[in-house]
A and B are shown apart, each in its own frame.
Chain A
Amino acid sequence: QVQLQESGPGLVKPSQTLSLTCTVSGVSISSGGYYWSWIRLHPGKGLEWIGYISYSGNTYYNPSLKSRVTISLDTSKNQFSLRLSSVTAADSAVYYCAREGAVTTRFFDYWGQGTLVTVSS
């Protein structure tokens, strides 16, 4: 059973860096065949894809966030992480980690339960 679980601070001050970790169980993130993504849901708005990292460490970021985003892998802990710098109130959202197939199964089939991050002083 594949499971994903987000963790990290629920409150971040403006201009600081948001850091979240997704712990994956039931599958090895280094086994290949998948992209590991971060997606967020703004209050009252829709879903925004932030970016992904492959099993080999290749990344692709949403151009709208690219200058502030870093996604990394820790294969020893079966985790991947998100860092978003210089946050503002507009970055307040529920953040999800999710798995996407890299070849034929190009959809998000497993998601974490989401973690609310509020940017406020």
Chain B
Amino acid sequence: DIQMTQSPSSLSASVGDRVTISCRASQSISNSLNWYQQKPGKAPNLLIDAASSLQSAVPSRFSGSGSGTDFTLTISSLQPEDFATYYCQQSYSPPRTFGQGTRVEIK
């Protein structure tokens, strides 16, 4: 199985801050990396697929980068509605695996 490791596991930030979340795969997965946002009591929502392709309804302050084993999700200017948990997920091979999540909290 491909292991996905996210860091940090949680962070505190203020509205307007730039936030960066890292995700590392245990082997190369090319660009087969997706990012999801999950709010309490809701299903995860796809933000970015193929490492850097922003979904159409997702604000442009979200961006993704990376390939191979190292990936990054960046929120350029944190907004109140962005406080949530973020997961990376590899789609390179089954079993599909997720990172353990990064909880973004209000500072």
Q: Taking beta carbons and an 8 Å cutoff, which residues of A are in contact with B?
A: 37, 45-49, 51-52, 60-64, 96, 98, 100, 105-109, 111-114
Bound: A103/B62 CA distance, A: 25
- Interface: B71 (CB within 8 A): no
Which residue of chain B lies nearest to A113 when distances are taken between CB atoms in the complex? Answer: B43
Q: Taking beta carbons and an 8 Å cutoff, which residues of B are in contact with A?
A: 1, 32, 34, 36, 42-44, 46, 49, 87, 89, 91, 94-101
10 A-B pairs with the lowest CB-CB distances in the bound complex, closest first? A111-B43, A106-B91, A49-B96, A47-B98, A107-B49, A46-B100, A107-B34, A62-B95, A46-B101, A60-B94
A111 pairs with B44, CB closer than 8 A: yes
Which residue of chain A lies nearest to B36 when distances are taken between CB atoms in the complex? Answer: A108
Bound: A109/B30 CA distance, A: 20
B43 pairs with A49, CB closer than 8 A: no
A107 pairs with B91, CB closer than 8 A: yes
Among the listed A48, A51, A106, A112, which residue makes an inter-chain contact with B43, where contact means beta carbons less than 8 Å apart?
Answer: A112
Label chain B's interface by main secondary structure.
Answer: loop
Residues of B within 8 A of A114 (CB): 42-43
Among the listed B32, B44, B98, B101, which residue makes an inter-chain contact with A106, where contact means beta carbons less than 8 Å apart?
Answer: B32
Known A107-B34, A107-B46; judge A46-B95 contact (CB<8 A). no
Q: Smallest distance from the beta carbon of B76 to chain A beta carbons, Å? A: 22
B1 pairs with A63, CB closer than 8 A: yes
Bound: A111/B43 CA distance, A: 6
Residues of A within 8 A of B32 (CB): 106
Given contacts A106-B32, A107-B91, 19 further A-B contacts (CB under 8 A): A46-B98, A46-B100, A47-B89, A49-B97, A49-B98, A52-B96, A62-B95, A63-B1, A64-B95, A96-B44, A107-B34, A107-B49, A108-B36, A108-B44, A108-B89, A109-B46, A111-B43, A111-B44, A114-B43
